[in-house]
Amino acid sequence: MRTAPTILHLDMDAFFASAEQASKPSLRGKAVIVGGLGPRGVVATASYEARVFGVHSAMPMAQARRLAPNAACLVPRFAFYRSISEQVMGLLRSLSPLVEPLSLDEAFVDLEAGGAAGDADSARLVGEGLRADILAVTGLTGSVGLAACKMLAKIASEQAKPDGLVLIEPGTERSLLAPMPVRTLPGVGPATGDHLRRAGIHTVGEIAEAGEGELVRLLGKAHGQALHAMALAHDERPVVAEREAKSVSVEDTYDVDIHDRLRVGLEVRRLADRCVRRLRASGLSGRTIVLKVRRYDFSTLTRSETLRGPTDDPAVVREAAARLLESVDTTGGVRLLGVGVTGLADYTQEDLFAQAAGARAESLAEEPAEEPDEERAAPAERRWPSGHDVRHAEHGHGWVQGSGVGRVTVRFETPLSEPGRVRTFRVDDPDLEPADPLPLVRRRPDGAEGAEGAEGEACAVGGVEPAL
């Protein structure tokens, strides 16, 4: 392990919810919940104001609404979040060539590899500068952890939340870890945690005291040895710049169980097409087609078929998924469907199946050039997801507060305005249309981003203009 805290872990604070609050002045300082709003919706992110009421990610949305009945519940805008994430990752890559993204809002950075820092003082300066740059460019806050290894850097960023920086000095790791609960260590989930507690082990310090032999006896050789090493603050995992994708998949959960077998087949076909579009967008192909079916009773079935070679042909993937569906009993209803492709490669073997040849030309002609933005697909049906951006010919830019019974309620405000007024329209009002998200910060006259400066020069975030 290193002798200097030059591994940085960045975790954006309540990322989705914070982005929504920054975008909507009327929601700043208030409880915001982002996630699926249907009967089976799940919380993706909750603002810190909502967490006070016990709301957290992965919680059923229905439960979150009961805990925080006055919270603003919004449908995610993933294209918007991705555009902000690209800005943040760009800042990280300016520090080092070794940046390991874990998600849209989280990444490790090897500061030593980029020559950005070599000791505790320089690492702290880099971390504080990064936080300031993120705020200036995106208008959002992130928490930074600095340590001599990845495990401790992540623990430090968790301690720094929200909007802070924690640096773990080399030599203090063991004393810091000792009183922490066993679930602090990566790889210790509920089952392992319960197993350790039954053995009388409750803290990281007690894991270290138990010894490697006892942990191997309890958990097996690989897990026991790894856990003992982490309890001693030993983590030799490097920061890996590129993570090889193992699969590409899509899935949908339905508000009402699907009972019609024909409808199930059509949904599988649609998911197969979406999966192929993601494959092609990544420049990949794959050999194994996977079908996932979660039935009415929560039982989940997975079926797979391996082809003779990798493909990114939508007709081939559709036909394989349809064959897999034939072996699944959907009697009683289906609540979730998914289609995935594994065994990825960066090349394609043509003409895998003769039966797909006739359909190939037709499918390619029908397939859109790029995957439509699912968040933007609603306007054709005049549906207005809560939280999404709109523009009215008379009132300007706003966002959807809610819709139903033929009406849509819009609050007219922008990230740089005061809280705006609310108006209600017919869902088919010709003057109302979907809009791209607006930038969260202004651009100064010298071209740099910042919270202050000239208006009207910033590029649209998540729209057709390039991201900031």
Helix, strand, or coil (residue 460): coil
pLDDT value at residue 349: 66
* pLDDT over threshold 80, residue 428: yes
Locate 185 and state its tokens: 């260590």
Locate 121 and state its tokens: 């003082």
Beta strands of 22-141 (E only): which ranges? 32-35, 43-46, 72-74, 99-103, 106-110
Beta strands of 30-92 (E only): which ranges? 32-35, 43-46, 72-74
Residues 140, 441: contact at Cβ < 8 Å? no
**Which positions are annotated as active-site residues?**
106
Rounded to whole angstroms, the Cα distance separating 365 from 463 reads 27
Share of the chain above pLDDT 70, in %: 87
Q: What is the pTM of this model?
A: 0.78
Nearest alpha-carbon partner for 129 in 170, 94, 156: 94
* pLDDT over threshold 60, residue 359: no
End-to-end Cα distance, the chain: 37
* pLDDT over threshold 60, residue 451: no
What would the mean pLDDT of 77-81 be, rounded to a whole number? Answer: 94
Residues 271, 292: contact at Cβ < 8 Å? no
Q: What is the DSSP string of 315-380?
A: HHHHHHHHHHHHTS--TT-EEEEEEEEEEEESS------GGGHHHHHHHHHHS-SS---GGGSGGG
Residues near 56 by Cβ (< 8 Å), separated by ≥ 6? 43, 46
pLDDT value at residue 157: 97
The 10s digit of each residue's pLDDT in 175-217 is: 999 999 999 998 888 889 998 999 999 999 999 999 999 999 9
Cα torsion 395, 401, 403, 409: sign:
negative
- 79-83, 379-383, 428-432: lowest mean pLDDT where? 379-383
Residues near 4 by Cβ (< 8 Å), separated by ≥ 6? 112, 117, 118, 119, 120, 123, 148, 170
The 10s digit of each residue's pLDDT in 6-50 is: 999 999 999 999 999 999 999 999 999 999 988 888 999 999 999
